[in-house]
Structure 1
Amino acid sequence: MKNTLNYKGFTRKFRQIALAGIAGALVSGGAFAAEPVKLGVMLPYTGTYAALGDAITKGLELAINENGGKLGGRDVEFVTIDSEANPGKAPQNMNRLINGEAADVVIGPVHSGVAMGMLKMARQEGAIMIIPNAGLNAATRQFCAPNIFRTSFSAWQTAYPMGKMAYEKGYRKIATIAWNYSFGKESLEAFEEGFKAAGGEIVKQFLTPFPKVEFQAYLTEIASLKPDAVFAFYAGGGAVKFVKDYDAAGIKKSIPLLGSGFMTDGTLTAQGQSAEGVMTTLHYTETLDNAKNKAFQQAYQDAYGATADIYSVQGYDAGQMLVQALASLKGDTSDKDAFIKALAAVKIDSPRGPWHFSKAHNPVQNMYLREVKNGENVVVKIAAEAVDDPATGCTMAQ
């Protein structure tokens, strides 16, 4: 369905039937139809991940609104589909956006399982796809393609740097734990790679059933192992329960808790005092002290009456990417190869800090070591500068 929702400061503009005689506009000596740039957006607007889809959409719209609501001088039409975070519906929904709606660009999803279905269709049809969240490594590794971009992260990027940080903290033996699904396992593998490279040892890995949140038996065994620290990946409600249970088990002081940043992003209010002192690595936090982030946070607050989070930033940067690329093309999307080349060449001044695309079209970006202090994720230091995913299996990166 076409979503006609309006947000403060921005009105979605939909294609209008051209009046007779108004056939096109001249741009750079060539002609193309005077129609809006059509953005197909497939994000979750209901269910567990609805808040994430909403934040990404608002960030995307804010970037375009800051450019006068246009891309390359053209109006913008949004065609939105609720992904429902349902992988089974992804191919059909993607086909609708590509072939039914003839979207110039498809933006989505949040869920990595949905991304797999979208990626297959994008590769098959040659459709330009921008991923504003899903972190599955495969998107910019074995399933990379010139027409596929990501403005968020890979699972590897968010966990690998913590390995070195943990070793620098003096930890030598660590237990790891995560939900038993692809992103959880990829996160543990990345941490282990970084920790072992620094000289550390993984004493045991625990994989817990997804999406169950019964952790007591695992925490009892961790206490008996007495590792120097624990590295964990959980998100959302699972992260809230794990962090509270970890604290309640009485082991946080003797066995510090580390994690991928999603464990304390969007969860701190619910975690309360239990999250204090937890250290994570991620490519953003709301408290980053740079001019771009301060301006972005203020603009987001003014537009939506809320604090922008990591998902808002990833949507915002997808919008910035489109603004910059289409400005260089003066709005002409008729040459897909030229459009792809323009997208690949963007350099983004982001609230997270400046970044650019790798050869595999994944952000080359800083990862920050963060510690929860007084209910906020506070940056301790840059854990790793300009982190580039290895892009294993991506032929573009060879």
Structure 2
Amino acid sequence: MTRTRTLASAMLATTLTAGLSTSALAAADPVKIGLMLPFSGIYAQLGEAGRDGLKLALKQSAAELDGVTFEYIALDTEAKPARAPELASSLLNQHNADFIVGPVHSGVAMGMIKMLRGKDTVMIIPNAGAAAATGPLCAPNIFRTSFSSWQPSYPMGQVALDKGYEKVYAISWNYGMGRESLDAFEESFTAGGGEIVEKVLLPFPSTNFQPHISDIAATNPDAVFTFFAGGGAIKFVKNYDAMGLRGKIPLLGSGFLTEGTLEAQGPAAEGVMTTLHYAEQLDVPANQAFREAFNTEYGHYPDIYAVQGYDAGLAIANTIEKLNGDITDKQAVISTMEKLTIDSPRGEFTFSKAHNPIQNIYLREVKDGVNVVQSIAAKSLEDPARGCKL
């Protein structure tokens, strides 16, 4: 009974209608979308952004969907991997969700995949970058509208080489995203003749950076590459500046180092270079329209997490439209979705055979508190999907 009450309190069900008549609404059951995202705890803002982006995409698509309605079943993962199988089972077996969208946290993604892999329900990952999701654990019904951990970091290796950096110090947290990000950078950097002079993996979520920044100063590499996000990214960048390394040893990173953190980092972030599949000021027509529509709808401008949720919504809407509203044949849903071209705020992308986005990765540099796009670091980059048998 305790578990039942927990699920009930976590569930928020809403129905979005496309301005249809009562008779039209009665003609078909709503499409059920299960949302497995964090709505409380440290990642709550990320979950809310993904949900809001998805709902905006479906609202904007209402005219093309001609009578389709949506029912949302939202379950709070609390970013706890242990809860994932239970919640996913609930959406699959009790609520009969047509699409399940989530999560933010890669550990939760692994738990969801364990329950949903190979089922008729389509799972769309709007953030978690775990390589296994579109690698060894890939499946026909699993799609991702975000990135693999390999994608943002791999291109930075060539950027570093092009800038003449030969020796790089690499540092991150010792967890999946950290290890996979450093490995991706090392793969491209060493292939071109670069050398990783030190590779440090800190216990997650330790922010005791000062001893390691002192070690960086003593080692004096040509540059530093890192993956940190959120509060860790804020503290690392500020400590790096406070210890006098900004402007002396270039700081490079996966884009999450300066994504959603710039205001808190302040002047300490000036000059930091990152690679990512999105930037707020990206000069793409779909981006400008999306940002204004999101601000009108929710009263603030979107971040990358909202973009990824928005694209999950576009994937659902475009699939339903191409099938003329009939999603009863789940194999047709899958085969239709995997052929889509998504007109995203990040620029158009398609899905790889493993169902990961094939997308541009942009080189950004912080200037006057903004991630300014310098170039396309890798055009239409496809994750290698190592271990995927699709």
Quick check: 1:12 aligned with 2:21? no
Quick check: 1:303 aligned with 2:297? yes
Amino acid at match of 1:49: Y
Question: Out of 313, 318, 322, which is 1:324 matched to?
Answer: 318
Query: Match for residue 77 of structure 2?
Result: 83
Question: Out of 308, 313, 320, which is 1:314 matched to?
Answer: 308
Quick check: 1:161 aligned with 2:170? no
Q: Deviations over 1:285-326 (max 9, x none)?
A: 100012111111110111111111111100000111111110
Contact 1:37-1:71 at 8 Å conserved across structures: no
- Residue aligned with 1:303, SS: helix
Deviation at 1:125, TM superposition (A): 3.6
Quick check: 1:334 aligned with 2:333? no
1:23-102 alignment to 2 at 5 Å? Answer: 25=27, 34-68=28-62, 71=65, 73-102=67-96
Unpaired segments ≥5 residues, structure 2 = 1-7
CA–CA distance in 1 between the matches of 2:340 and 2:60?
Answer: 17
Q: Deviations over 1:113-159 (max 9, x none)?
A: 00000011111544310000000000000000000000000000010
Q: Deviations over 1:309-365 (max 9, x none)?
A: 111100000111111110011111111100111111110111100100000000000
Q: Percent identity?
A: 55
- Residue aligned with 2:283, SS: coil
Query: Match for residue 29 of structure 1?
Result: none
Query: Match for residue 177 of structure 2?
Result: 183
Give the alignment's TM-score, normalised by structure 2. 0.94
Amino acid at match of 1:134: A
Contact 2:25-2:69 at 8 Å conserved across structures: no
Q: Deviations over 1:170-220 (max 9, x none)?
A: 111000000111110000000000111222110010111111101011111
1:212-231 alignment to 2 at 5 Å? Answer: 212-231=206-225
Contact 2:155-2:185 at 8 Å conserved across structures: yes
Query: Match for residue 256 of structure 1?
Result: 250
Gap change, CA 1:342 and 1:314, over 3 Å in 2:
same
Give the alignment's TM-score, normalised by structure 1. 0.92
CA–CA distance in 1 between the matches of 2:353 and 2:68?
Answer: 29
Deviation at 1:69, TM superposition (A): 7.7
Amino acid at match of 1:368: Y
CA–CA distance in 2 between the matches of 1:24 and 1:359?
Answer: 37
Quick check: 1:144 aligned with 2:153? no
CA–CA distance in 2 between the matches of 1:99 and 1:168?
Answer: 52
CA–CA distance in 2 between the matches of 1:333 and 1:325?
Answer: 9
Q: Deviations over 1:59-117 (max 9, x none)?
A: 00110110128856310000000010000000000000000100001000000000000
**Cα RMSD, aligned residues only:** 1.8
- Residue aligned with 1:395, SS: coil
Contact 2:118-2:140 at 8 Å conserved across structures: no
How many residue pairs match? The answer is 378
